[in-house]
């Protein structure tokens, strides 16, 4: 029996949070993401309130995807070259300015849908630099022995804040509307709160003590570094396979969240509060799934976790699309979040554990395109299908596409099926040797 099994069920973070700099990093990130979860409620609701168009909800995804696609490679290369702490602080300041401006437009009644789309696009551009830097910096804040614990704890941030954030955001919007009688004032309040979260995160990042980037890394060409990152991934099938499966999950599956306002308003006849409940149900399940995945880190057959965590939410998404009652939809969302989180933590922790530090920013930057480019493009196709057909058909199509991808691509992939990973501490040379073995002979 391994040591983890002897310890029994545990919450992630006990080891990682012992380290001061990681505590600062994690606390700031929790504050930022909590604001983002409320921002998601406000933006989606405001776009649909102003336009009544499911297609424009999808257009918000396109506005995110364009800069996310173009700049993620650049952001990954810069994350391996620059002071990641300063890069993150600069991004927080930019995000704060954007949201403060959006809040002012909204509170004065001058906001239009195109304002939202422009600010969503600018925010996505900033996030393209933030995600790789964030993924590259946190392994430097903990010893290698505590890396898996830090990955698992990071993976609880989004689901944990998704549990409370959308609920509180929807509740606050509803209460502000009720008290003030102004339909847009609630959204403006959430924009200002999110801007404050970015300020607080920047302050905490400022106090992190991080060694300077090696001078020789700065002398290389950024474009050459970008090419090396892509080449590194394509030559290691495990990295390529996990990233492509994650892309499929986000494009066809997780993007269904963009249609929540349509389900709430047109199918379940609800409002801001019900919209928040849907996000919270998804978040509660995701938090349980992330905690479960952290306790499964000693499971050697990680390929089974990847396949199961990919196919199960696909089937549940199809069931959600046909749910006739709001309470049933909430229950399905809980289990969708749980199973999806198991997949996400397993895939991300495997990547983080195997990738060498010199490539971490670029590899995780390309992986991070799941959020800055792939998921927004998925939101666009969801919005277009919902506009042409209906929201339930668009969501059901996504679940069917995921199952088809699993049957035709994932399950036949021997490397994913047989993916194993010993969670013992390895030296850098042993990891590189393992990567070469995983890549196999080149033809």
The mean pLDDT of the chain is 80
Mean pLDDT of 122-132: 85
Report how far residue 279's alpha carbon sits from residue 416's, in angstroms, rounded to the nearest whole number: 31
Most confident of 81-95, 114-128, 210-224, 394-408: 394-408
Of the CA atoms within 13 Å of residue 324, those in its CB half-sphere come to: 0
Residue in 236, 213, 210, 211 with CA at minimum distance from that of residue 77: 213
Q: Cβ distance 287 to 163 under 8 Å?
A: yes
The predicted pLDDT at position 428 comes to 44
In the predicted structure, residue 443 carries a pLDDT above the cut 50: no
Q: Which residues of 60-69 are buried (b: 16+ CB within 10 A; e: fewer)?
A: bbbbbbbbbb
Q: Is the pLDDT confidence value at 387 over 70?
A: yes
Write the DSSP symbol of residue 156: T
For the stretch 12-27, pLDDT in tens is: 667 788 889 999 999 9
Separation of alpha carbons 44 and 275, rounded Å: 10
Helix (H, G, I), strand (E, B) or coil at 434: helix
pLDDT at 2 over 60: no
Given CA atoms 93, 97, 102, 104 in this order, what sign does their dihedral have? positive
**Domains contained in the chain, CATH given:** 12-214+222-439 (1.20.1250.20)
pLDDT for the residue numbered 316: 95
pTM above 0.75, yes or no: no
Residue 227 CB partners (closer than 8 Å, separation 6+): none
What is the reported pLDDT for 421? 55
| Nearest Cα residue to 376 out of 279, 253, 245, 255 | 255
Q: How many helices (H) and strands (E) does the chain have?
A: 20, 0
Nearest residue to 419 via CA among 365, 347, 355, 370: 347
Largest CA distance in the chain: 68
- Is the pLDDT at 295 greater than 60? The verdict is yes
**How far, in whole angstroms, is CA 414 from its chain's centroid?**
27
Share above pLDDT 70 across residues of the chain, in percent, rounded to a whole number: 85
Task: Please say if the pLDDT value at position 440 is more than 80.
Answer: no
Q: What is the pLDDT of residues 95-114, one digit of tens each?
A: 999 999 999 999 888 888 88
> Does residue 370 carry a pLDDT above 50?
yes
Q: What is the pLDDT of residue 426?
A: 42
**Whether residue 442 has pLDDT greater than 60:** no
Residues whose CB falls within 8 Å of the CB of residue 386, separated by 6 or more in sequence, listed in order: 54, 55, 57, 58, 259, 262, 393, 394
Query: Average of pLDDT values for 359-388?
Result: 79
- Name which of 74-88, 233-247, 391-405, 418-432 the model is least confident about: 418-432
pLDDT bucket at 333, cuts 50 / 70 / 90: very high
Residue 420 three-state SS:
strand
Q: Average of pLDDT values for 365-381? A: 78
Residues 174-222: tens digit of each pLDDT: 888 888 888 788 888 899 999 999 999 999 999 998 765 544 444 556 6
**Is residue 319's pLDDT more than 90?**
yes
pLDDT at 424: 38
Question: Which of the pair, 425 or 418, is modelled with greater confidence?
Answer: 418
Residue 305 or residue 206, greater confidence: 206
């Amino acid at each position: 029996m391994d040591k983890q099994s002897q310890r029994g069920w545990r919450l992630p973070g006990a080891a990682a949070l012992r380290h001061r700099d990681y505590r600062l990093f994690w606390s700031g990130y929790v504050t930022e993401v909590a604001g983002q979860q409320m921002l998601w409620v406000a933006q989606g609701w405001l776009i649909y309130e102003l336009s009544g168009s499911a297609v424009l909800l999808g257009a918000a995804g396109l506005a995110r995807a364009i800069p996310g696609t173009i700049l993620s490679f650049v952001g990954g290369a810069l994350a391996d070259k620059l002071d990641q702490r300063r890069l993150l602080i600069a991004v927080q300041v930019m995000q704060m300015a954007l949201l403060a401006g959006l809040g002012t437009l909204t509170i004065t009644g001058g906001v239009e849908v195109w304002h939202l789309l422009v600010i969503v696009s600018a925010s996505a551009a900033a996030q393209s630099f933030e995600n790789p830097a964030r993924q590259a910096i946190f392994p430097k804040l903990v010893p290698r022995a505590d890396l898996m614990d830090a990955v698992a704890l990071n993976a609880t941030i989004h689901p944990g804040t998704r549990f409370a954030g959308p609920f509180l955001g929807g509740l606050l919007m509803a209460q502000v509307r009720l008290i003030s009688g102004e339909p847009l004032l609630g959204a403006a309040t959430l924009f200002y709160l999110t801007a404050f979260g970015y300020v607080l995160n920047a302050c905490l990042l400022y106090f992190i003590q991080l060694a300077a980037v090696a001078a020789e890394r700065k002398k290389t060409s950024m474009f050459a570094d970008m090419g090396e990152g892509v080449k590194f991934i394509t030559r290691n099938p495990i990295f390529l396979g996990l990233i492509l499966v994650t892309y499929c999950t986000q494009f066809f599956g997780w993007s269904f969240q963009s249609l929540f306002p349509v389900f709430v308003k047109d199918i379940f006849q609800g409002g801001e509060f019900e919209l928040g409940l849907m996000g919270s149900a998804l978040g509660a399940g995701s938090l349980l799934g992330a905690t479960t995945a952290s306790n499964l880190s000693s499971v050697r057959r990680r390929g089974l976790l990847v396949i199961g965590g990919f196919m199960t939410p696909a089937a549940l998404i199809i069931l959600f699309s046909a749910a006739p009652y709001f309470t049933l939809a909430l229950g399905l969302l809980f289990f969708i979040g749980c199973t999806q989180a198991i997949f996400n933590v397993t895939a991300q922790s495997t990547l983080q554990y195997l990738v060498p530090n010199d490539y971490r920013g670029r590899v995780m930057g390309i992986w991070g395109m799941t959020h800055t480019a792939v998921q927004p493009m998925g939101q666009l196709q969801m919005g277009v299908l919902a506009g042409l057909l209906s929201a339930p058909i668009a969501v059901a199509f996504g679940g069917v596409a995921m199952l088809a991808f699993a049957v035709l691509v994932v399950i036949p992939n021997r490397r994913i099926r047989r993916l194993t990973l010993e969670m013992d501490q390895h030296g850098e040379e042993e990891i590189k040797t393992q990567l070469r073995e995983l890549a196999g002979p080149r033809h």
